[in-house]
């Protein structure tokens, strides 16, 4: 049996990292056009770099919660295959011991727009940081902005097509292509499960739903599988 799991900001909420669209969420405080688009970066790179410096600093002391640990246990102990895809740019799945495909990148990584090298970002990036490989001052956080193509789409398509069970955890189902994964997996024959605080935008595409805080619901669900 193969389980393909998509996580969103809700899985990290109880680690103290804010979500995007809930009350007080990141996009209620910042204009995403200004800080999370290539156009915003072209207009004011310092503002964008500062935004990710702030988020990187906020995430520095964050610890994985019971949901991250349960998913790591599932990956390690489940008799079938468990593929984890995350929209999150934090590193809490890895801190808990999971391997995850970061489709929206990672704010702990930097990349060069000239030579495409990638490296661990310093805690505070600067607009004129030189690339450690080619020396050009064309560096940016390795995050995927609105209007850009997410990472790992071919691998993800394979994991959706071959899943027996697709599970979405802590995501509102607002941002494509991730929002379309449930329809894709379902169309290829997977059973679908939503685990979220409240029903997402695509609640009717899920066969089953478990509502509640991820730190409680995810460990309980994992216990039923192991």
Q: Can residue 14 be called a binding residue for ligand APR (CB under 6 A)?
A: yes
159 included as an active-site residue: no
* Residues 142-171, mask of contacts with ligand APR (x by CB under 6 A): ----------------------------xx
Residues 54-113 that bind ligand APR (CB under 6 A): 87, 104
From candidates 10, 40, 105, 141, binder to ligand APR by CB under 6 A:
10
CA–CA distance, 139 with 124 (Å, rounded to integer): 13
Residue 189-208 contact track with ligand APR, rule CB under 6 A, x = bound: -------xxx-x--------
Which residue in the set 6, 9, 205, 222 belongs to the binding site for ligand APR (CB under 6 A)? Answer: 9
Taking the least distance from each CB to ligand APR, the nearer of 8 and 141 is 8
17 contacts ligand APR (rule: CB under 6 A):
no
Determine which one of 104, 107, 116, 159 is catalytic.
104
The answer to whether 34 contacts ligand APR (rule: CB under 6 A) is no
When asked if residue 8 is in the footprint of ligand APR (CB under 6 A), the reply is yes
**Which residue among 3, 5, 6, 20 contacts ligand APR (CB under 6 A)?**
20
For residue 25, state whether it binds ligand APR (rule: CB under 6 A): yes
Cβ proximity of 148 and 175 under 8 Å: no
141 binds ligand APR (CB under 6 A): no
Q: What's the chain look like in SS3? A: CEEEEEECCHHHHCCCCCCCCCCCCHHHHCCHHHHCCHHHHHHCHHHHHHHHHHHHHHHHCCCCCHHHHHHHHHHHHCCCEEEEEECCCCCHHHHHCCCCEECCEEEEEEEECCCCCEEECCCCCCCCCCCCCCCCCCEEEEECCCCCCCCCHHHHHHHHHCCCEEEEECCCCCCCCHHHHHHHHHHCCCEEEEEECCCCCCHHHCCEEEECCHHHHHHHHHHHHC
- Which residues would be at the binding site for ligand APR (CB under 6 A)? 8-10, 13-14, 19-22, 25, 87, 104, 170-172, 174-175, 196-198, 200, 213-214
List the catalytic residues.
104
């Amino acid at each position: 049996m193969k389980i393909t799991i998509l996580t969103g900001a809700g899985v990290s909420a109880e680690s103290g990292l804010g979500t995007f669209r809930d009350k007080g969420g990141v996009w209620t405080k910042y204009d995403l056009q200004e800080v999370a688009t290539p156009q915003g970066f072209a207009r004011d790179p310092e503002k964008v770099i500062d935004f990710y410096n702030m988020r990187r600093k906020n995430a520095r002391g964050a610890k994985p919660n019971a949901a991250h640990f349960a998913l790591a246990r599932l990956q390690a102990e489940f008799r079938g295959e468990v593929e984890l895809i995350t929209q999150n740019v934090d590193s809490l799945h890895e801190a808990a011991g999971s391997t995850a495909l970061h489709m929206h990148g990672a704010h702990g990584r930097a990349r060069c727009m000239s030579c495409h090298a990638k490296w661990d970002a310093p805690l505070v990036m600067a607009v004129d940081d030189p690339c450690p490989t080619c020396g050009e001052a064309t560096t940016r956080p390795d995050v995927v902005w609105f209007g850009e193509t997410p990472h790992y789409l071919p691998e993800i398509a394979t994991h959706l097509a071959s899943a027996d069970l697709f599970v979405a955890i802590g995501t509102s189902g607002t941002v494509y292509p991730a929002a379309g994964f449930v329809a894709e997996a379902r169309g290829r024959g997977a059973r679908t499960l939503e685990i979220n605080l409240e029903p997402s935008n695509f609640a009717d595409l899920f066969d089953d739903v478990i509502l509640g805080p991820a730190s409680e619901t995810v460990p309980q669900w994992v216990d039923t599988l192991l």
